[in-house]
């Protein structure tokens, strides 16, 4: 039986053509084939959100998506958030508010926050907490993370 599949996807705006084993996840392929190691591997059960990426405009846990399921899709990872090599205002706010301690969960947190602000530019604190409920931080920087997201929304509203 054929267990390797040819796929095409656009990753951070760049077209990619790959041969992927059917049992490899999108997370595996992003990290191991495309060397996009900003996306982290952590719980592998869809609880922690460290592997969050955007798939056709919606965030997903890339540990729970087979790479072959992303055939034809637009994928965006944390590496795609920078503009001309500069951090986005959201990323700057994470630094400014001290939201980063060990940093392992941050790519996923930033991807989830970016998605939330795209859908809801002026969220309430409760909406930020719900929007980031799929992202765990073992350093427990939740206060600083939600501060960073709220500050970004306020700044954009000025």
Judged by the rule CB under 8 A, the positions of this chain that interact with another protein are 1-3, 5, 21-25, 44-47, 49, 52, 55, 58-61, 63-66, 68-69, 112, 115-116, 129-131, 133-135
In this structure, are residues 9 and 62 in contact, taking their beta carbons and an 8 Å threshold?
Answer: no
Task: Please give the angle made by the CA atoms of 20, 79 and 104, to the nearest 5 degrees.
Answer: 95
The DSSP secondary-structure symbol of 95 reads H
Q: To the nearest whole angstrom, how small is the minimum distance from the Cβ of residue 143 to another protein?
A: 15
| Cβ at position 90, least distance to another protein in Å | 16
Closest distance to another protein from the beta carbon of 27 (Å): 10
Nearer to another protein, 96 or 146 (CB): 146
Smallest distance from the beta carbon of 33 to another protein, in angstroms?
Answer: 16
Nearest CA among 109, 75, 115 for reference residue 94:
109
Residue number with CB closer to another protein (12 or 135)? 135
Q: Which is nearer to another protein, 63 or 78 (CB)?
A: 63
Tokens representing 48 are 């922690």
For another protein, the closer CB: 52 or 91? 52
What is the closest distance, in whole angstroms, from the C-beta atom of residue 84 to another protein in the complex? Answer: 28
State which residue, 14 or 23, has the beta carbon closest to another protein.
Answer: 23
Distance of CA 136 to the CA centre of its chain: 13
């Amino acid at each position: 039986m054929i267990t390797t599949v040819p796929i095409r996807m656009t990753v951070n705006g760049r077209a990619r053509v790959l041969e992927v084993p059917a049992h490899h996840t999108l997370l595996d392929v992003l990290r191991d084939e495309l060397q996009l190691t900003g996306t982290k591997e952590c719980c592998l059960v869809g609880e922690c959100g460290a592997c969050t990426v955007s798939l056709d405009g919606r965030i997903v846990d890339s540990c729970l998506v087979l790479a072959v399921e992303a055939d034809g899709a637009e994928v965006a990872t944390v590496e795609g958030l920078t503009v001309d090599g500069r951090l986005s205002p959201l990323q700057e706010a994470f630094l400014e508010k001290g939201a980063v301690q060990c940093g392992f969960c941050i790519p996923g947190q930033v991807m989830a926050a970016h998605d939330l602000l795209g859908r809801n530019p002026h969220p309430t604190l409760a909406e930020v907490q719900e929007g980031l409920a799929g992202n765990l931080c073992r350093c427990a920087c939740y206060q600083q993370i939600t501060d960073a997201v709220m500050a970004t929304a306020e700044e954009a509203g000025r």
